[in-house]
């Protein structure tokens, strides 16, 4: 079957390890289902995998891709929850939690095998491409806002970085929940598109805000950390789910954090129950994921290159 996979690890030139070609189809086993993939989406996690983060060389070749929607062996339209080992079903009670492509082959292929427990029904209201956007970036945003931020309708939330999959999800979900959403970004065109999506205001990176916010959604890391801390009201919360610009900020801002009693909350992916809630929210409210572009799986390298350059707004979808 056709697949896009990590053939080599290269921390400095990750795309050099990406191959698109034929690999064996997954085999059925007890407690698992083989899903025919109709759509899958790119995440920064795929680039980190090519750098060897969470993926040692002895597990290669590894098919990349965390997200997918497709059809199971019984003809059911399904969405894949990509966290494996969150329950004992299909993997055993001692299985460590991992994301597809870390220990198990991913979704950038014509077929993928996952524990049957990890399948959720795809709402009829969502296309395969829309549903495939949800299990990683959109689920991450959903958990950041509704589980970990402690915000309520009317509060002001700052989203650091305009344009990525998580940030666009935060804008759309935040507005659907009645929040006032501000975004930052270096690119003027991306800031303008964020406002078109529903953001109440967009600012340049590091800009002084009109007032301090109730919560900051942080995925950028070192480049925006100081601004995030200084943008919070006393008692406010930073929810951090990534560090695409680096994990070692120059200024830890510890004095401000303890003096203003700020909260720093880590957030990783989400649960199967949260994904079910996100699917229902999208199906029932009309909220839809932001899709940057749709590419055939054979052109996966183009999608990876654009993601690596930051030349995206929303999610890049691959269709086998």
Fold of 2-133+289-319: Quinone Oxidoreductase; Chain A, domain 1 (3.90.180)
Tens of pLDDT, residue by residue, the chain (320 residues): 999 999 999 999 999 999 999 999 999 899 999 999 999 999 999 999 999 999 999 999 999 999 999 999 999 999 999 999 988 888 888 888 999 999 999 999 999 999 999 999 999 999 999 999 999 999 999 999 999 999 999 999 999 988 778 999 999 999 999 999 999 998 999 999 999 999 999 999 989 999 999 999 998 777 778 899 999 999 999 999 876 666 676 666 888 888 889 999 999 899 999 999 999 999 999 999 989 999 999 999 999 999 999 888 889 999 99
Q: What b/e sequence results for 259-283 when a residue is b if at least 16 CB atoms lie within 10 Å of its CB, and e otherwise?
A: ebebebbebebbebebbebbbebbb
Give the span between the Cα atoms of 306 and 191, in whole angstroms: 18
Max CA distance (Å), the chain: 58
- The CATH 3.90.180.10 domain(s) of the chain lie at 2-133+289-319
- The CATH 3.40.50.720 domain(s) of the chain lie at 136-266
CATH number for the segment(s) 136-266 = 3.40.50.720
């Amino acid at each position: 079957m056709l697949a896009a996979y990590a053939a080599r690890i290269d921390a400095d030139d990750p795309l050099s390890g990406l191959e698109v070609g034929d690999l064996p189809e997954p085999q059925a086993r007890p407690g698992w289902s083989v899903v025919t993939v109709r759509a899958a989406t790119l995440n920064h996690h795929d680039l980190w995998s090519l750098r060897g983060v969470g993926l040692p060389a002895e597990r290669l070749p590894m098919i990349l891709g965390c997200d997918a929607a497709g059809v199971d062996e019984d003809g059911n339209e399904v969405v894949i929850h990509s966290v494996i080992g969150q329950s004992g079903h299909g993997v055993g009670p001692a299985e460590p939690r991992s994301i597809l492509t870390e220990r198990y082959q991913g979704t950038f292929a014509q077929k993928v095998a996952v524990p049957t427990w990890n399948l959720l029904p795809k709402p009829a209201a969502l296309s395969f491409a829309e549903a495939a956007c949800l299990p990683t970036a959109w689920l991450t945003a959903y958990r950041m806002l509704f589980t970990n931020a402690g915000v309520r309708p009317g509060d002001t939330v700052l989203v650091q970085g305009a344009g990525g999959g998580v940030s666009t999800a935060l804008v759309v979900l935040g507005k659907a929940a009645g929040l006032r959403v501000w975004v930052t970004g270096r690119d003027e065109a991306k800031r303008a598109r964020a406002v078109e999506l529903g953001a109440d205001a967009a600012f340049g990176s590091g800009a002084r805000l009109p007032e301090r916010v109730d919560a900051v959604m942080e995925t950028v890391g070192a480049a925006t950390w100081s601004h995030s801390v200084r943008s919070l009201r006393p008692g406010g919360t930073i929810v951090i789910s990534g560090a695409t610009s680096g994990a070692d900020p120059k200024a830890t801002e510890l004095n401000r954090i303890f003096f203003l009693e700020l909260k720093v909350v880590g957030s990783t992916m989400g649960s199967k129950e949260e994904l079910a809630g996100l699917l229902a929210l999208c199906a029932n409210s009309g909220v839809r994921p932001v899709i940057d572009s749709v590419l055939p799986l054979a052109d996966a390298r183009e999608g990876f290159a654009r993601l690596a350059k930051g030349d995206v707004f929303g999610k890049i979808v691959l269709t086998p």
